[in-house]
């Protein structure tokens, strides 16, 4: 039995749990206790305490990409856990920016925290063991979300459009299921699912995470036609979807009629058992 708990998400299902824009998920598998992302600050620690999740016992931490709403809690994690290996793409240490009204704001990781033997710098494909695989995504056949256009990386002293090679996703293969977990899906949720499909040889059975259909800074959704085209692609598989964070509630509502009970929302405090 797999257990997934929303430690931090943009919304909450309980008045006892605070929420904040960002993502942090606790995942318990047969063999591992995993932290997938750490949210924007120490809130994941506070919520973990309230939800009975023991952060010290986590053995694998994964940083999905180098944006602060996913890795801002790293300092707190290093204090609360002294043993887990932390898997991160080396490109996540580059300087990432978001532009607001044309002005760039730093939105990246505090890379002074990333030192020592606990950090594992991952390649495009990183097979941790029979159960855990990390994959980044180079398939870009399906159009990327428009809101990616606001995101930049500093290279050679200049801001250039982010290519999202700092992004990685988690694939858990256990008990006949293949569960794909994404952070923001900047490289396109449909593309990431297809990459996972290439690896597994079939569609994932479950997909969890943000689908990047909402831009939080400008508070703008992707075009309704784009959202519907994503929903159409998601409909092709037999997967169940538990989405959150940068999908946004309105985009969730737009996709719901197509996907029906195969689509559910994961809030802060939601517990899923698979
Ligand atoms: Fe992001
Ligand atoms: Fe995000």
CA distance 204 to 225: 25
Tell me how far the alpha carbon of residue 245 lies from the centroid of ligand 2, in angstroms. 7
Lowest average pLDDT, out of 4-8, 215-219, 256-260, goes to: 215-219
Q: Are 92 and 66 in contact (CB under 8 A)?
A: yes
3-state secondary structure of 50: helix
The fraction of the chain above a pLDDT of 90, given in percent, is 94
* Least distant ligand from the CA of 209: 2
* Least distant ligand from the CA of 247: 2
Tell me how far the alpha carbon of residue 205 lies from the centroid of ligand 1, in angstroms. 24
- Which residue, among 191, 192, 197, 180, has the nearest Cα to 242 in the 3D structure? 180
3-state secondary structure of 114: coil
Q: Would the pTM of this model clear 0.75, i.e. be above it?
A: yes
Q: 218 falls in which pLDDT band (50, 70, 90)?
A: confident
Tell me how far the alpha carbon of residue 210 lies from the centroid of ligand 1, in angstroms. 9
3-state secondary structure of 201: coil
Q: Which residues surround ligand 1, an ion (CB under 5 A)?
A: 67, 184
For residue 117, count CB atoms less than 10 angstroms from its CB and return exposed for 0-12, middle for 13-18, buried for 19 or more. exposed
Tell me how far the alpha carbon of residue 65 lies from the centroid of ligand 1, in angstroms. 7
CATH class belonging to 3-273: alpha beta
Tell me how far the alpha carbon of residue 196 lies from the centroid of ligand 2, in angstroms. 20
Does the pLDDT of residue 238 top 90, yes or no? Answer: no
């Amino acid at each position: 039995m797999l257990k997934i708990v929303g430690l931090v998400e943009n919304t909450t299902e309980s008045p006892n749990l605070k929420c904040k824009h960002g993502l942090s998920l606790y995942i318990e598998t047969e063999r591992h206790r995993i932290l997938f992302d750490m949210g924007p600050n120490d809130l994941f620690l506070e919520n973990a305490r309230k939800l009975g999740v023991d952060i010290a016992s986590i053995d694998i931490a994964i940083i999905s990409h180098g944006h602060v709403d996913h890795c801002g809690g790293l300092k707190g994690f290093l204090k609360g856990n002294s043993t887990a290996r932390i898997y991160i793409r080396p490109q996540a240490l580059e300087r990432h920016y978001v532009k607001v009204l044309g002005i760039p704001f730093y939105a990246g990781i505090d890379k002074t925290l990333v030192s020592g033997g606990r950090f594992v710098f991952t390649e495009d494909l990183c097979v941790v063991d029979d159960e855990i695989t990390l994959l980044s995504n180079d398939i870009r056949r399906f159009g990327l979300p428009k809101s990616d256009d606001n995101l930049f990386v500093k290279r050679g002293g200049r801001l250039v459009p982010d290519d999202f090679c700092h992004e990685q996703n988690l694939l858990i293969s256990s008990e006949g299921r293949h569960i794909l977990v994404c952070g923001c899906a900047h490289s396109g949720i449909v593309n990431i699912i297809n990459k996972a499909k290439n690896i597994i040889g079939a569609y994932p059975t479950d997909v969890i995470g943000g689908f990047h259909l909402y831009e939080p800074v400008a508070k703008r959704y992707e075009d309704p036609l784009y959202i519907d085209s994503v929903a159409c692609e998601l409909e092709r598989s037999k997967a169940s979807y538990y989405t959150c964070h940068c999908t946004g509630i309105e985009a969730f509502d737009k996709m719901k009629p197509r996907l029906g009970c195969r689509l559910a929302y994961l809030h802060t405090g939601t517990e899923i058992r698979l």
